[in-house]
Amino acid sequence: MTVKDRVFKVVSKVMRVPLSKINNDSSPDTVDNWDSLQQMNLIMALEEEFDVQFTDKQIVELLNVQLIILDVQSILNSKKCKQ
């Protein structure tokens, strides 16, 4: 499963919307259940799913699914370089 697929799955589960309704542009503006509390739940679920930690700066920048995917990939790539 790709990073994108895994992010879509986590977003779908946390926001309680069908996976088919999630796309790169999904955001608090397009998903009714995506409020500030769900944003925090999403961040925790993503950190658990990928075994990563977002910085405060990254958290503020997680404005839609595409940006989440890019940040997760960046963190994972940087973890690989450190090993």
Digit-coded pLDDT (tens) for 27-75: 999 999 999 999 999 999 999 999 999 999 999 999 999 999 999 999 9
Per-residue pLDDT at 82 exceeds 70:
no
| Burial classification of residue 60, based on how many CB atoms lie within 10 Å of its CB (0-12 exposed, 13-18 middle, 19 or more buried) | exposed
- How many other CB atoms sit within 10 Å of the CB of residue 68? 26
pLDDT band of residue 78 (cuts 50, 70, 90) is confident
Distance CA 76, CA 19 (A): 23
Range of the domain at 52: 3-82
Dihedral sign of CA atoms 56, 15, 66, 35 in order: negative
Number of domains in the chain: 1
Distance CA 31, CA 57 (A): 23
Domain CATH for 49: 1.10.1200.10
